[in-house]
């Protein structure tokens, strides 16, 4: 919509996916391949000569990371190294935003809102692999993209650590909003396993606009902006799962839920909160929607998408227009 030429690189999408819903209207080059395939990745990146790289590809879920820890580390840590190494070989300027997560912080669940300068950690393989991605990025930055030598290498690299993202078009397994949508669509009760878990929930276009804002500023003033940033909601929007479920049901207009606290579940942090002052003061970014608005927009997207003959691409475009006009 901003007139950029875009190339995407990812695994083949699941059958039920936003990509498949919009692909006939998408005007971007698409490559289906693995970021662990270093040669292919390098070839595709170098031939496209991007001005900007947004690295989002990941094994992005906590619970599956307990089942496939080695894949999770390979994709999230080595995959990030592969991308940075391909960027190192680019013979032109490039600003890259490496998306990690708010789960990269050493979390003793004290309720403290994490600052970018806080120590990295990670209990489960997903969180630890993303903390590894941060360390890999820091090593590449120090070794190859040192800001003191920017004039010769012309690469600006930053990391972005986002809180929990919600929005229409997410059909992932084992995620709260897609689980709510699937239950409401099938007219069954929403089952929630950790009603009191607290997370920084935010509408999907909030962090995406932050990543773009960050990349644009990095291209102008790399020395000033290339570092790590948290993107999350305001503190009042750091809510527990049960509150989210109640709001989602209200916005969807029907449904109910039951709590099924499962025993012997692998560890998942119950409390996580982010301090977003750096993104606010340095980038001029701030969240536009509160959590109630984010949940309402998300559930309305799913509701509209269920209406026969809805053009999903137009639905997404309208949401982007509404958000940017805000």
Which spans of this chain sit near ligand NAD (rule: CB under 6 A)? Answer: 10-11, 34-36, 56-60, 75, 79, 99, 101, 162, 164-165, 172
Complex with ligand NAD: residue 47 or 325, whichever CB lies closer:
47
Complex with ligand NAD: residue 18 or 325, whichever CB lies closer:
18
> From CA 203, how far away is CA 166, in angstroms rounded?
5
Complex with ligand NAD: residue 56 or 259, whichever CB lies closer:
56
Q: Name the minimum Å distance from CB 99 to ligand NAD.
A: 5
Q: Name the minimum Å distance from CB 29 to ligand NAD.
A: 15
Q: Name the minimum Å distance from CB 271 to ligand NAD.
A: 16
The owner of tokens 């509209």 is 304
Complex with ligand NAD: residue 34 or 242, whichever CB lies closer:
34
Q: With contact defined as beta carbons under 8 Å apart, do 32 and 11 qualify?
A: yes
Q: Name the minimum Å distance from CB 234 to ligand NAD.
A: 17
Complex with ligand NAD: residue 56 or 288, whichever CB lies closer:
56
Of all residues in this chain, which one has the CB nearest to ligand NAD in the complex? 58
Q: Name the minimum Å distance from CB 75 to ligand NAD.
A: 4
Complex with ligand NAD: residue 74 or 150, whichever CB lies closer:
74
Q: Name the minimum Å distance from CB 32 to ligand NAD.
A: 8
> From CA 55, how far away is CA 75, in angstroms rounded?
12
Strands (E), 124-171: 155-162, 165-166
Q: Name the minimum Å distance from CB 55 to ligand NAD.
A: 7
Complex with ligand NAD: residue 154 or 193, whichever CB lies closer:
193
């Amino acid at each position: 919509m901003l007139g950029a030429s875009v190339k995407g690189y990812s695994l083949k999408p699941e059958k039920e996916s936003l990509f498949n819903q919009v692909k006939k209207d998408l005007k971007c080059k698409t490559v289906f391949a693995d970021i662990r395939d270093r040669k292919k990745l390098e070839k595709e990146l170098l031939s496209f000569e991007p001005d900007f790289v947004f690295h989002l590809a990941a094994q992005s879920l906590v619970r599956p990371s307990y089942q496939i820890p080695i894949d999770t580390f390979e994709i999230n840590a080595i995959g990030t190294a592969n991308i940075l190494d391909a960027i190192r070989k680019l013979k032109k300027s490039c600003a890259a935003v490496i998306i990690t997560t708010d789960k990269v912080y050493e979390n003793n669940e004290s309720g403290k809102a994490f600052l970018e300068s806080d120590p990295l950690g990670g209990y489960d393989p997903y969180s630890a692999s993303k903390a590894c991605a941060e360390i890999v990025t820091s090593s590449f930055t120090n070794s190859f993209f040192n800001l003191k030598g920017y004039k010769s290498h012309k690469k600006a690299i930053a990391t972005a650590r986002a809180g929990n993202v919600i929005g229409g078009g997410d059909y992932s397994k084992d995620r709260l909003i897609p689980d709510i949508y699937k239950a409401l669509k099938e007219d069954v009760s929403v089952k929630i396993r950790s009603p009191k878990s607290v997370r920084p929930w935010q509408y999907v276009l909030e962090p995406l606009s932050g990543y773009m804002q960050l990349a644009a500023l990095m291209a102008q003033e790399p020395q000033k902006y290339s570092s790590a940033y948290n993107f999350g909601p305001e503190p009042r929007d750091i809510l527990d799962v049960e509150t989210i479920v109640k709001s989602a049901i209200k916005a969807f207009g029907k449904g109910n839920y039951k709590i099924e606290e499962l025993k012997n579940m692998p560890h998942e942090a119950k409390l996580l909160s982010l301090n977003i002052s750096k993104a606010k003061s340095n980038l001029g970014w701030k969240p536009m929607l509160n959590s109630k608005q984010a949940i309402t927009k998300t559930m309305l997207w799913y509701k509209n998408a269920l209406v026969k003959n809805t053009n999903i691409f137009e639905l997404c475009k309208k949401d982007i227009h509404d958000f940017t006009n805000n």
